[in-house]
Amino acid sequence: MKKTVLSVTLAASVLALGACSGGDKETVVTSKAGDISVADFNETAKTLTGSFVIQQMVSEKLLADKYEVTDKEIQEAYDNMATQFGDNFDQVLQQSGLTEESFKETLRFQLLQEKALKDKAIKEEDVKKYYEQMKTELNGRHILVADEKTANEVIAKIKGGAAFADVAKEYSTDTGSAEKGGELGWFSVGTMVDEFNDAAYALELNTLSEPVKTSFGYHIIEITDKRDVKDVGSYKEEKDNISSQMLAKLTNTGEDKQILKDIVANLAKDADVKTSDKDFKAAIEDLSTTSEELAKKAEEEAKKAEEKAAKESKEEKDNAEDTEKESK
- pLDDT, tens only, 265-298: 999 999 999 999 999 999 999 999 999 998 898 8
**Digit-coded pLDDT (tens) for 203-242:** 999 999 999 999 999 999 999 999 999 999 999 999 999 9
CA distance 175 to 12: 44
Tens of pLDDT, residues 123-181: 999 999 999 999 999 999 999 999 999 999 999 999 999 999 999 999 999 999 999 99
Q: How far is the C-alpha of 137 from the C-alpha of 187, rounded, in Å?
A: 6
The pLDDT assigned to 60 comes to 96
Structural contact between residues 181 and 169, judged by C-beta atoms closer than 8 angstroms: yes
Q: pLDDT tens, 37-88? A: 989 988 898 888 899 999 999 999 999 999 999 999 999 999 999 999 999 9
Q: Annotate 39-57 with b (16+ C-beta within 10 A) or e (fewer).
A: ebbbeebbeebbbebbbbe
